[in-house]
């Protein structure tokens, strides 16, 4: 077997080599704009503006760090991100979020492959077998005709989604389309640059209600507030939380 090259002048050189070696594997627009490696990771950490993280993190244009791929692939340890955050007096909310990642990792260590199993029953009034096992094609191709297509396109083309967009898209898949969270989780993992079974699957289970006491849903006002969208049609998310929950979960008892 021929040895593969290991040294490259730059990312373009590496990309050209991969295209030549695996002509069918690399779609023309499949190369991420995120630079891998320890130096770019440190540069991003140093450049992160954490002063208003707590106030802005829920907004799509908020001051989030996009450090996740570096943390996920071990170019930055969670401890050094925490230490940096303490050095720059970052809001406690930022440390909290690092804590979530740590918590999910510890659970993963305990659960192993059971991370793919429902941790509890759905609290939606539906049983697991009433959810579709596979992801519908229109979700995979971003042709649902809803505003979720915007996020699907972003997920597939960039490998990144803001946390709030992940929550909305996951809730859409599980609750509006009644698809098992596992199918949504597989879809996310196949595209996210920070794709991680612990953070991903357990967040999906929290949204689905198989690892929380109630399902997470959003409404159009919530999407409008955090995206700043004024004109984009937001059906089928219009309405109060009460009305949406009644429609989505007609058999749910008061829990
Ligand atoms: C459905 C769903 C799927 C997700 N899948 C993944 C995944 O596969 N991999 C992944 O790393 N995160 C996942 N998350 C958590 C979170 O959305 C991302 O970590 C975050 O959006 C990454 O962007 P950032 O680096 O700009 O985050 P920032 O807000 O800048 O946060 C800094 C770091 O803290 C950690 N962090 C922040 N928020 C969370 C959170 N809610 N849970 C766990 N860790 C967090 C991450 O390591 C992140 O890089 C998921 C969340 C949801 C709701």
- Average pLDDT over the chain reads 95
| Ramachandran sector of residue 89 (left: φ over 0; alpha: ψ -120 to 50; beta: rest) | left
Q: What is the CATH number of domain 128-248?
A: 1.10.579.10
Ligand 1 nearest atom to the CA of residue 78, by list position: 47
* Residue 54 CB–ligand 1 contact under 6 Å: no
Q: pLDDT tens, 160-192?
A: 999 999 999 999 999 999 999 999 999 999 999
Question: What span, in angstroms and rounded, lies between the C-alpha atoms of 100 and 86?
Answer: 17
* Residue 168 CB–ligand 1 contact under 6 Å: no
Same fold for the pair 11-112 and 128-248: no
Closest alpha carbon to 160 in 182, 191, 115: 191
pLDDT at 98 over 90: yes
**Six-digit token string for 134:** 């596979």
Q: pLDDT tens, 70-89?
A: 999 999 999 999 999 999 99
| Protein residue closest via CA to atom 50 of ligand 1 | 200
Question: What span, in angstroms and rounded, lies between the C-alpha atoms of 223 and 141?
Answer: 22
Who's near 147: CB < 8 A, 6+ residues apart?
Answer: 223, 229, 232, 233, 234, 237
Q: Give the relative orientation of helices 181-189 and 197-208 as an angle to the nearest 10 degrees.
A: 150
Q: pLDDT tens, 108-137?
A: 999 999 999 999 999 999 999 999 999 999
Q: Where are the domains of the chain?
A: 11-112, 128-248
Exposure string of 99-131, with b = 16+ CB inside 10 Å and e = fewer, is eebeebeebbeebeeebeebbeebbbebeeeeb
* Residue 64 CB–ligand 1 contact under 6 Å: yes
For tokens 């949406």, what's the residue? 244
Residues in the chain: 255
Q: Per-residue pLDDT averaged across 16-21, rounded?
A: 90
Ligand 1 nearest atom to the CA of residue 195, by list position: 8
Q: What is the CATH number of domain 11-112?
A: 1.25.40.80
Question: What span, in angstroms and rounded, lies between the C-alpha atoms of 104 and 208?
Answer: 16
Spatial contact of 168 and 217, defined as CB atoms under 8 Å apart: no
* Residue 204 CB–ligand 1 contact under 6 Å: yes
């Amino acid at each position: 077997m021929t040895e593969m090259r290991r040294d490259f002048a730059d990312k373009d050189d590496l990309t050209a080599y991969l295209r030549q070696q695996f002509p069918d594997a690399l779609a023309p627009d499949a190369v991420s704009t995120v630079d891998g490696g320890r130096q770019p990771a440190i540069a991003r950490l140093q450049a992160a503006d954490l002063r208003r993280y707590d106030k802005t993190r829920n907004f799509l244009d908020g001051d989030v760090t996009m450090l996740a791929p570096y943390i996920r692939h071990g170019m930055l340890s969670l401890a050094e991100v925490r230490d940096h955050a303490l050095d720059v007096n970052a809001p406690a909310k930022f440390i909290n979020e690092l804590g979530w990642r740590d918590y999910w990792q510890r659970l993963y260590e305990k659960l192993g492959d059971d991370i793919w199993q429902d941790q509890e029953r759905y609290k939606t009034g539906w049983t697991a077998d009433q959810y579709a096992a596979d992801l519908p094609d229109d979700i995979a191709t971003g042709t649902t005709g809803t505003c979720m297509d915007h996020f699907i396109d972003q997920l597939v083309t960039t490998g990144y989604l803001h946390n709030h967009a992940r929550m909305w898209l996951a809730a859409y898949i599980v609750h509006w389309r009644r698809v098992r969270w596992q199918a949504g989780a597989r879809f996310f993992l196949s595209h996210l640059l920070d794709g991680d079974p612990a953070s991903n699957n357990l967040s999906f289970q929290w949204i689905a209600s198989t690892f929380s006491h109630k399902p997470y849903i959003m409404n159009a006002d919530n999407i409008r507030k955090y995206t700043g969208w004024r004109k984009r049609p937001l059906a089928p998310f219009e309405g109060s939380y009460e009305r949406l929950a009644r429609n989505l979960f007609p058999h749910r008892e008061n829990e």
